[in-house]
Amino acid sequence: MFPIKETVFHHLGRYLFHPSNSVWGMVMRYHNSYMAKAKERIGIQARIFYSAPISIDDLYKQIVTCTLEESILPNLNPEQSKNSFSAPNEITPRAVLLASLYGVLYDRLKDMYYLHSTTTGEIVSVYQPSHEENQQSEQQLHNQKALAEIWLLSFSDVLVTTAGSTFGYMAYSLAGIKPWFLMRSKDQKIPDPPCRRSVTIDPCFHSPPADLICRTRNITNPGKVVRYVRHCEDFDGGVKLFD
């Protein structure tokens, strides 16, 4: 049924995971208002986990370092010269959608491209649908916003997501694209490298079936038992589908 193994969740998710009319309305209104006409849509999903604490300042630096080093976003022009701006009819903006609980990340990313031109002359617009500051899983509206942002991220051409985040897994798997993972901090410091490219579009299964665990207990590579299953790049002990 699935000749390309890593597309199982992508196809089943898009077929079965249908948002309500109210959530889809949020998605379409926001996308059509801010993202639809962009030359390129870049999604960034940023989250801080209690198990991998990092300061907001360092998380911002990690996002910027990753997106600039990997040429996901254009570099800033160190010289604000007269030639640093394109004529209006040459402007082809990139749209960045930030999905995060933290409003300060949006403020800093927005100011980065508002206060500086880019070396390519491109315009970069940054958007954040919501910034709830804290997860409020018991609130229906909060959950609706979260689901809407997952679908908005899935419309991206390029995705940067937080390692180990099921929110990010859903977005890139629905999109069918291989994301860049913002790797988890170690000792509350920015990891080196700051991000790593996924080699598959399948989400990581954090808690594999006990049968698979038993059969691979003494095997470092579960692919030796099931050819198309390997350990996740971003979560110890998890498994995902590969081709």
CB 93 within 8 A of CB 41: no
Q: What is the CATH number of the domain that holds 109?
A: 3.40.50.11350
pTM over 0.95: no
Looking at the fold, whether 212 and 164 belong to one and the same domain comes out as no
Looking at the fold, whether 240 and 174 belong to one and the same domain comes out as no
DSSP designation for 73: S
pLDDT per residue as tens, the chain (243 positions) = 778 888 999 999 999 989 999 999 999 999 999 999 999 999 999 999 988 899 999 999 999 999 999 999 999 988 765 455 554 555 668 999 999 999 999 999 999 999 999 998 899 999 999 887 777 777 888 899 999 999 999 999 999 999 999 999 999 999 999 999 999 998 889 999 999 999 999 999 998 776 655 555 555 555 566 778 888 989 888 889 988
Domain span at residue 234 reads: 204-243
Looking at the fold, whether 190 and 213 belong to one and the same domain comes out as no
Looking at the fold, whether 210 and 190 belong to one and the same domain comes out as no
Looking at the fold, whether 170 and 217 belong to one and the same domain comes out as no
Looking at the fold, whether 208 and 223 belong to one and the same domain comes out as yes
CB 110 within 8 A of CB 56: no
Looking at the fold, whether 106 and 220 belong to one and the same domain comes out as no
Looking at the fold, whether 144 and 224 belong to one and the same domain comes out as no
Looking at the fold, whether 192 and 80 belong to one and the same domain comes out as yes
Count: domains in the chain: 2
Looking at the fold, whether 130 and 212 belong to one and the same domain comes out as no
The amino acid that residue 78 corresponds to is: P
Looking at the fold, whether 219 and 115 belong to one and the same domain comes out as no
CB 185 within 8 A of CB 60: no
Looking at the fold, whether 29 and 101 belong to one and the same domain comes out as yes
